[in-house]
Structure 1
Amino acid sequence: MANDPLTVEQLMHLPAFQGAKIMAGIEGMKNEIYYVDSMEIPDLTGWLRPHELIITTGYALRDEPFLLSRLLEEMHRVGGSAIAIKTKRFLQEIPEEALRKSDLYRIPLIDIPAEIPYIDLTHSVMENILNRQLAVMRGVHEINQQFTHMVLNRRTPELVVLLGKLLHGEVAVLNTEGEVVNSTAHFTAERIADKRPIQVNNRAVGYVALTRIVDQQDRFGQMCLDQAVTVLAIEFTIRQSLQLQREREQESFLVELLSGTAGQEELLRYRAKQVGIPHVGQQYVMMIALSDPNLDQQKKEELLLTLLNKINQGEKPYRKGVLINDQLAVICATTQTDVAGQREEAKHYLENWIGGTMEQDVYKEWRCGLGCIHEKLEDLRLSYREAKRALQIGSLIHPAQSVVHFEDILVEDLLEQTRDHPSLVSLSRRFIVPLVAYDQEFGTELLATLESFLRTGGQTKKVGEELFIHRNSVLYRLERITEILGVNLHDAETRFRLDLVMRAWKLRGLASDAEGL
């Protein structure tokens, strides 16, 4: 075939080599010839090439015939193809050792008639080689055009099948995780013999996997494989571009959805379907943030993006996250029906997402706020607002909890929205300010003791455990509080008022929550 390399056997059928005879090395008739050169100097090293045909008159060997054996040894070392000698010019007889080495190394020794000009021999061989190479290049060019057309028309499966036929084996395109993207019918991962990386910007984005190794001497096969790898890089670039576009569309839709500017329910469901976000029934919003004030902005962004990528990789149950103002808003599908189940589910998610990817010291700094469960897409804006409030207020009211539900801060949410109400101001002056002033003057912790007493339902033992003091010290502090405020801490109405104003006091310094994103 025109695409096949020229062999010694085919060489002997060229018109210029009529009358030539094989003297030895008959088993090397299948040797392929890629180059042709003449040799009339005794220097044998440094210039010979693999698959090369050497033509000589034997002039350099006339006084030292043993050099022919050395030439054969050097040809064997570099992978030469054959030696053609005009024996009648200067060598009347070929040494037996040379004939023996010719057979041993399978490098044919060819006796060519002395009257045939060098130019006829070399021209004939070069013309044949160039014609075959041209046929290969034309074939590869046609293959490249087919490959490119298939990729641009999104027919990658057909490209893979064609490549398999060209290489006479099973072929697959794999992603970076080793998962099969496209393959021929009988491809199996267990049979992979070779993998070629598909690179975009010097980074492997996938692989071409083969069930047989393409021989280095199979130039056509190697070139087809190279063309396939190059063209498939375009396919992966297109895939990445489409994926990036889809992610941007999803991100834009999620921001509009959570802000409440995306439209009514019917329109929302249509747009969600268009950007690849399914409607899965019950959903809620989870807000995630890093609370460590010592983290620089770049490190925080890296951690948030790492977490976002891991969240968005999951498929079941469905969840989709978007980064908004240094916080992650995650829409989570759920089958839970109560707050306790939702909270446990969120804790599980957070541990799974963060535990295996973050440093342990950073793990402790993640906080999460949960909104209520809703069935309609248009109501997710409410869950988003609730999750933000739970995250903001929860860090002040429940600092020891990594996951805070909106229902955990319902009272504080109400109080924060009415924090300037005259009644709250009056209660604060009546019950909080005197204790703050006393603590500042005498270095005591009466306000912290009162807060723990109210939160634990008056259990003085728990108060002592929280503050690391003896129960008698707790009782003494409560007596001082009673004297300073002039109240009865066991009176239900008094304790309600104290609890209310204490919750409002803990919210001091919390910035008013904007309704926008």
Structure 2
Amino acid sequence: MENNKPFTVERLFQLPLFKEAKIMAGESGISKEIYYIDSMETPTLTGFLRPNELILTTGYSNLVLNRRTTELVVLIGHLLGCEAAVINEAGEVESSTTQFGGVDYVEKRPVQVGSRIMGYLAISRKLGEQEHFEEMCLDHAVTVLAIEFTIRQSQQMQREREQESFLVELFSGSSHQEDLLRYRAQQLGIPLGKFVYCMVLQNRSAVDKQSRDEPLTRLNNLLVQRVNKPGVYTRKAVVISDSLIILCATVHDTAEKQRAEAEQLLRELMAPAEEISPSTQLTIGIGGIRELLSDVPMSRQEAHKAMEISLHTQPKQKIVHFHEVLVEDLLLGAAGHPVLTALTSMLIEPIVAYDKEYGTELLATLHAFLRLGGNTKRVAEELFIHRNSVLYRLDRVNEIIQNDLNDPEVRFRLDVAMRVWKTKDIHANQMK
């Protein structure tokens, strides 16, 4: 008759395998009869259970989906009798058993999502060939950790898309409510500081658009990853129309500090040079400092202007602040004015015509002379010619324009005329 007794939960705990088991909850159901026994590792058992069914499960999936990776690692350490840890793809320990830091792990299993290894599950002892249960536990833990990394990757991608949408909206100036902008920026992890400003980064080595589109896309994607790398909370980048636009947060309010930050960024971006072509010429345009997020579009416009103007006036300069091209921006606003037209006609066009007819470089020499404050020694060094050659060319300029370059008034007018001439192509493009 004993064998005909119902098989209840209470009788289950009398079996040798379950003698050490403990009831954690639901003790009032200990007399319930068991009709079926099954093993399952699904995140939720709803829809799979039958009445009077006993389910055997490790609970790994629920630990992961409830973001309890630490408990999972502790469970693995307990089951295998060793120290264990989850290591991310950067080699950093994310969670571990208490003594893991004091031991060397002897085995690590890759946690793979598709073809990409997202991290590792490391343990401090080698499993033997006969330890089938331990091997099964380890394999299963790796599988459910892959779920965790997949969830995390999906969440990260969604957050990046939301950040990108916010930045595009911010730079376009479509929203002007400061409180709402700051609230959304805080929620999305967008850089905020006492001051904000924009950088525009471009690759000047790319000339032919049709042939450079694919390489430029790859370069921009690489640069975005480096600018937005984990652990950096003072800048965030997005690609708009082949330009990398970077929102920067800072506690400084000077152009010198902005330039220093841009120089540091260039060094960081170009440091792992094996991934970037040697012909790459990264340049940065910097916009002015702003206190309000709603004023960021103005800083972005200034950064673009600095980049565009410097392309015609200072093509060799890698970093240009908008404050350095304020005069050119002012002259662009007055482009076509009769006085400016007269200045270029009298002082610049005759030199251009002479260069074209005789193959000389008087205009380039004059430009360097004006930009370097009349220092003929520095002009010679920049142009890689003898100082006497510089003096000879300047004498020819004096003869052509019939003015004295040593006269401060003449030099001022030449400087204005030269700036107008250098930016004429920008004005022409704006008129199209």
Q: Output the TM-score relative to the length of structure 1.
A: 0.68
Query: How many angstroms does 1:308 deviate by?
Result: 1.8
Match of 2:21 in 1: none
Match of 1:182 in 2: 95
Match of 1:214 in 2: 127
The amino acid of 1:265's aligned partner reads E
Query: How many angstroms does 1:198 deviate by?
Result: 0.9
Structure 2 vs 1, CA of residues 387 and 457 (structure 1 numbering), >3 Å: closer, same or farther? Answer: same
Structure 2 vs 1, CA of residues 447 and 191 (structure 1 numbering), >3 Å: closer, same or farther? Answer: closer
Match of 1:115 in 2: none
Match of 1:362 in 2: 278
Match of 2:417 in 1: 501
Q: Does 1:344 align with 2:257?
A: no
- Provide the rounded CA distance (Å) in 2 between the counterparts of 1:509 and 1:2: 90
- Provide the rounded CA distance (Å) in 2 between the counterparts of 1:326 and 1:222: 51
Q: Does 1:247 align with 2:160?
A: yes
- Provide the rounded CA distance (Å) in 2 between the counterparts of 1:346 and 1:415: 27
Structure 2 vs 1, CA of residues 310 and 401 (structure 1 numbering), >3 Å: closer, same or farther? Answer: same
Match of 1:457 in 2: 373
Query: How many angstroms does 1:475 deviate by?
Result: 3.3
Match of 1:405 in 2: 321
Match of 1:292 in 2: 205
Q: Contact 1:140–1:223 at 8 Å: present in 2 too?
A: no
Match of 2:107 in 1: 194
- Provide the rounded CA distance (Å) in 2 between the counterparts of 1:189 and 1:397: 60
Match of 2:139 in 1: 226
Q: Does 1:271 align with 2:184?
A: yes
- Provide the rounded CA distance (Å) in 1 between the counterparts of 2:174 and 2:335: 29
Match of 2:3 in 1: none
Select the structure of larger CA radius of gyration. 1
Deviation per residue, 1:375-420 (Å, 9 max, x gap) = 2222222221111111221222222221111111111122223323
Instruction: Output aligned runs, 1:20-35, within 5 Å.
Output: none
Q: Contact 2:111–2:118 at 8 Å: present in 1 too?
A: yes
Q: Does 1:372 align with 2:279?
A: no
Q: Does 1:259 align with 2:198?
A: no
Query: How many angstroms does 1:299 deviate by?
Result: 2.4
- Provide the rounded CA distance (Å) in 2 between the counterparts of 1:472 and 1:357: 41
Q: Does 1:419 align with 2:305?
A: no
- Provide the rounded CA distance (Å) in 2 between the counterparts of 1:244 and 1:172: 25
Note the aligned Cα RMSD (angstroms). Answer: 2.8
Q: Contact 2:108–2:121 at 8 Å: present in 1 too?
A: yes
Deviation per residue, 1:174-213 (Å, 9 max, x gap) = 1112212222333326331221111111321111111233
Structure 2 vs 1, CA of residues 314 and 497 (structure 1 numbering), >3 Å: closer, same or farther? Answer: farther
Structure 2 vs 1, CA of residues 139 and 487 (structure 1 numbering), >3 Å: closer, same or farther? Answer: closer
Query: How many angstroms does 1:254 deviate by?
Result: 1.2
Deviation per residue, 1:10-62 (Å, 9 max, x gap) = xxxxxxxxxxxxxxxxxxxxxxxxxxxxxxxxxxxxxxxxxxxxxxxxxxxxx
- Provide the rounded CA distance (Å) in 2 between the counterparts of 1:179 and 1:215: 27
SS of alignment partner, residue 484 of structure 1 = helix
- Provide the rounded CA distance (Å) in 2 between the counterparts of 1:426 and 1:493: 16
Match of 1:153 in 2: 66
The amino acid of 2:383's aligned partner reads L
- Provide the rounded CA distance (Å) in 1 between the counterparts of 2:298 and 2:288: 8
- Provide the rounded CA distance (Å) in 2 between the counterparts of 1:513 and 1:158: 63
Match of 1:474 among 368, 390, 393: 390
- Provide the rounded CA distance (Å) in 1 between the counterparts of 2:40 and 2:158: 36
- Provide the rounded CA distance (Å) in 2 between the counterparts of 1:244 and 1:340: 35
Query: How many angstroms does 1:278 deviate by?
Result: 4.4
Give percent identity, aligned residues only. 47
Query: How many angstroms does 1:358 deviate by?
Result: 4.7
Match of 2:10 in 1: none
Match of 1:47 in 2: none
Q: What are structure 2's unaligned runs of at least 5 residues?
A: 1-14, 19-35, 43-54
Query: How many angstroms does 1:288 deviate by?
Result: 1.3
